[in-house]
């Protein structure tokens, strides 16, 4: 079993929909949680960063961490065609980039 599980999709939604992307993990020591967006043939770019449990909001994006359930989510409100990309979750027990464990990514398509 992988340390981080992420549904690969593909996920296809109409423009304006609310999108929910999720990851589950098994390592209870994880306390730094990140979401990256990766456009086709580009490198990942950081979307959201959360330390420990709770919610964090940035514009149309909301990240949630539930450490008791070992479950993290990324919500996208009013989804746009420009949100079409692969979304990767990543997490670690320290802040070190060397020790990040990535999910395999969920491919999202927002249809106009």
Partner 1 sequence: GAGVSQSPSNKVTEKGKDVELRCDPISGHTALYWYRQSLGQGLEFLIYFQGNSAPDKSGLPSDRFSAERTGGSVSTLTIQRTQQEDSAVYLCASSLADRGHGYTFGSGTRLTVV
Residue 112 CB, nearest distance to partner 1 (Å)? 25
Size of the site for partner 1 (CB under 8 A): 26
Residues 5-24 contacting partner 1, CB under 8 A: 6, 8
**Does 41 participate in binding partner 1 (rule CB under 8 A)?**
yes
Does 84 contact partner 1 by CB under 8 A? no
Binding status of residue 31 toward partner 1 by CB under 8 A = no
Nearest of 31, 37, 22 to residue 75 by alpha carbon: 22
Contacts of 33 (CB under 8 A, 6+ apart): 49, 50, 51, 63, 65, 72, 89, 90, 91
Provide the binding-site residues for partner 1, judged by CB under 8 A. Answer: 4, 6, 8, 32, 34, 41-46, 49, 88, 90, 92, 95-105
């Amino acid at each position: 079993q992988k340390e981080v599980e992420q549904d690969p999709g593909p996920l296809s939604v109409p423009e304006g929909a609310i999108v929910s992307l999720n990851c589950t993990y098994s390592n209870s020591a994880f306390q730094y949680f990140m979401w990256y967006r990766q456009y086709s043939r580009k490198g990942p770019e950081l979307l959201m960063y959360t330390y420990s449990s709770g919610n964090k909001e940035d514009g149309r994006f909301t990240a949630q961490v539930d450490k008791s359930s070992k479950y993290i989510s990324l919500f996208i409100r009013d989804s746009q065609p420009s949100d079409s990309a692969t979304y990767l979750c990543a997490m670690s027990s320290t802040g070190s980039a060397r020790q990040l464990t990535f999910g395999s990514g969920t491919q999202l398509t927002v249809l106009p």
